[in-house]
A and B are shown apart, each in its own frame.
Chain A
Amino acid sequence: MNTKDLIQLNNKKRKQLNEHNEAYYDKMLVYIRSHLTISEQQSEELLIELLDHLLEAQSNGKTAEEVFRDDPKAYCDELIRQLPKEKRMSAAFFIGYLIFQLAGWMALVKGGIETIAEFFTDLDNALYLGSAVTIFLIEAVIILLVVAVFISMIKRSVFATSNKVKDFFIAGLAGVIVFACFVFIPKWIPEFGYRIEAGGVVFLILGLLILAVSKWMDKKFRITT
Chain B
Amino acid sequence: MKEKVSERVNWPVTILLILGCVTIFFPLYMAVIIAFKQPSEMTNDVAGALAFPSHWSLSNFAQAMEVTDFWHSLGNSLLITVITVVLALLIHGIAGYAIGRSMGESKGYKLVYYYIVSGMFVPFAILMMPLVKQTAQMGIANRVGVVILYLVFYMPINLLLYTGYLKNIPMALEEAANVDGATTWYMYWQIIFPMMKPMHATVAVLTALAVWNDVMTPLVIMGGTEMNTLPLAQLNFQTQFGTNYNLAFASYLLALLPILIFYLICQKQIIGGVASGAVK
A binds B: no
